[in-house]
Structure 1
Amino acid sequence: MKLDQKDIQILSLLQNNARLSNKELAAALDIAPSTCHERLKKLTSEGFFKAFNAELNLKKLGVNVEVLIAVRLKRHEREIVNSFIKKIKSINGIIRFYHLAGDTDFMIHVGVKDSDSLRSFIMDELAGFHNIDHIESSMIYHSECVHNLKINT
């Protein structure tokens, strides 16, 4: 599917606020709501949206400390990597993780109550995985999703 300017505008608007109604989208694009709805259905069916998510206020949920944890594995066989991914998907407190190329194999975004909870998370949850070579954590002072992705045609 080739995107035109209206499709790109729909993607950009929803990237910044996925709660916009069809009516609000149509008004912003200066098109009929029925036309906007058809475009949105086509973009959805063509797979341009992975998901519609809510960004939660972690402080309200008792998460006072956010940390990025860099993990390097001892070996990189598919079975070990898949086993590690399965493990981190089952651990509470993980917000998001990335499997990377380079010196760091995984970057794990974690939310915890306090520094004691972080220590327990690392010592009890991560360090028990016997194929970890190195763990390094960095506290996040501020994070923000800016949604400045340039969408090209």
Structure 2
Amino acid sequence: MDEIDTKIMDLLQTDARLSNRELARRLGVAPSTSLERIRVLTRRGVIRGYHADISLTALNRGVQALVAVKLRTPARAAIDGFKEFASRLPEVISVFVVAGDDDFLVHVGVQDLDHLHAFLVDRLSSRRDIAGFRTSVVFEETRKTKLGRLESSAVGA
């Protein structure tokens, strides 16, 4: 990673829709150089993709929660099975396999607290492989949108 690679990442994190020609102009390099640098960063796994930032509130999923899940048996098959199950649920935004007292941290987005309660009771409580879970409702989120820069927003705003 050199200064040009760092600048490419900075520019693409600000606006991933920049054309290669505009990116090259801002970098002060030839378009072919810019394109090759992006290809190398992608091959190396530094750039993993380009994404739209979707408002959960606009999708009527303004209530977010983090659910810490503990399995009865934290064996590989149980971990893989729960991860697959949780990833398929429409309420689930992210699934993290974690170390410590819990096995998973599941980020969910739902319409309201009634839907969160239904998710916990109907989806999670019914699974025999879950020993227990704890839920934390998210009031506000601060997300890094660029390396070194934070953006804050209240959940539901």
Q: Tell me which interval the TM-score lies in, with the shorter structure as reference length.
A: 0.7 to 0.9
Give, in angstroms, the shift of residue 40 of structure 1.
1.1
Structure-2 separation of matches of 1:50 and 1:121: 31
Residue type at the aligned position of 2:41:
L
Match of 2:89 in 1: 91
Match of 1:71 in 2: 69
Residue type at the aligned position of 2:130:
I
Could you report, residue by residue, the CA deviation over 1:87-120 in whole angstroms, capped at 9, with x for unpaired residues?
A: 1012111011100011121111100000110011
Give, in angstroms, the shift of residue 70 of structure 1.
0.8
Give, in angstroms, the shift of residue 148 of structure 1.
4.7
Provide TM-score, normalisation by structure 1. 0.88
Residue type at the aligned position of 1:118:
L
State the 4+ residue runs in structure 1 displaced beyond 4 angstroms: none
Aligned length: 148
Identical-pair percentage: 36
| Larger RCO (CA within 8 A; separation ≥ 6) | 1
The answer (yes or no) to whether the contact 2:68–2:105 under 8 Å persists in 1 is yes
Structure 1 residues without counterparts, runs of 5 or longer: none
Residue type at the aligned position of 2:100:
G
Residue type at the aligned position of 2:145:
H
Structure 2 residues without counterparts, runs of 5 or longer: 149-157
Match of 1:13 in 2: 11
Structure-2 separation of matches of 1:137 and 1:33: 49
Give, in angstroms, the shift of residue 149 of structure 1.
3.4
| Superposition CA RMSD, Å | 1.6
The answer (yes or no) to whether the contact 2:20–2:35 under 8 Å persists in 1 is yes
Structure-2 separation of matches of 1:78 and 1:146: 31
Provide TM-score, normalisation by structure 2. 0.85
